[in-house]
Amino acid sequence: MTSLPNCPQCGQDNTYPDGDLLVCADCGHEWNPAAAAPAEADSVRIVRDSNGTVLADGDSVVLVKDLKVKGSSTPLKMGTRIKHIRIVDGDHEIDCKTDLGPMLLKAEFLKKV
């Protein structure tokens, strides 16, 4: 069984061939895999929250667990709402401003609001 590529629009792996095109069953996007191959190098990084929802710049998120902050005795509490996030490269994908100042957070500890 051959592995089909994920959808370039929504990132889901629920794709199927339809003639010369590939079709995403989730969002309905159709594309030619031969024409899309060079564009993959310039693709935007897809970051997902703890539930698998795609995050984008400017979204609002909520913490799903308490996080200890290095250099501070006060943790970030579960349920803290963070507005206007920014997606960045690196191990910690989210750049944001919190009550304790600017921080980089991992998306696995966040849920989109």
Query: Is residue 39 predicted with pLDDT exceeding 80?
Result: no
- Any idea which of 34-38, 93-97, 99-103 has the lowest mean pLDDT? 34-38
Percent of the chain with pLDDT over 70: 90
CA distance 13 to 10: 9
Query: Is residue 31 predicted with pLDDT exceeding 90?
Result: no
Burial (CB < 10 A; 0-12, 13-18, 19+), residue 93, is: buried
Query: What's the rounded mean pLDDT across residues 30-37?
Result: 74
For residue 7, how many other CB atoms are within 10 A of its CB?
21
CA distance 52 to 93: 14
Domains defined for the chain, CATH in brackets: 1-43 (2.20.25.10), 47-112 (2.30.30.40)
Query: Is residue 82 predicted with pLDDT exceeding 80?
Result: yes
> What pLDDT sits at residue 1?
44
Query: Is residue 106 predicted with pLDDT exceeding 60?
Result: yes
| Three-state secondary structure call for residue 104 | strand
> What pLDDT sits at residue 36?
54
CB 89 within 8 A of CB 76: no
Query: Is residue 20 predicted with pLDDT exceeding 90?
Result: no
> pTM value?
0.61
Query: What's the rounded mean pLDDT across residues 92-113?
Result: 94
